[in-house]
Amino acid sequence: MKRKRHTAEQIIAKLRQAEVERANGGSVGEVCKKLGVSEQTYQRWRQLYGGMKGNQLRRLKALERENSRLKKIVAEQAMDLDVLKDVASKNW
């Protein structure tokens, strides 16, 4: 069976739908069947995206991109420092 990847927006929409179903008295198993996912996937989604709205998700993704960019800059600077230390120690 081919796995289906859901986007974060789709996951949030499905979690909202699941909350409505659960509020109407549906069990977790029934809700998962309607969503077409396993209970394990549902629980993982709730843990990662529970209570998030679309704009919060976009902000989170932007922060993750910025964080990775900053980590890359720090790594490059650390390499530059190592090279400079190596050069300085050989000259003296």
Would the pTM of this model clear 0.85, i.e. be above it?
Answer: no
Do 37 and 72 belong to one domain?
A: no
Distance in angstroms (rounded) separating the CA atoms of residues 92 and 84 = 13
Q: What is the domain count for the chain?
A: 2
10 & 45 share domain: yes
Tens digit of each residue's pLDDT (9 = 90 or more) over 12-47:
889 989 989 889 988 999 999 998 899 999 999 988
Query: 89 with 48: CB under 8 angstroms?
Result: no
Query: Are residues 4 and 43 part of one domain?
Result: yes
Indicate whether 17 and 4 sit together in one domain. Answer: yes
CA distance 83 to 51: 47
Domain that holds residue 87: 54-92
Q: In this structure, are 46 and 75 located in the same domain?
A: no
Residue position matching structure tokens 């499905």? 14
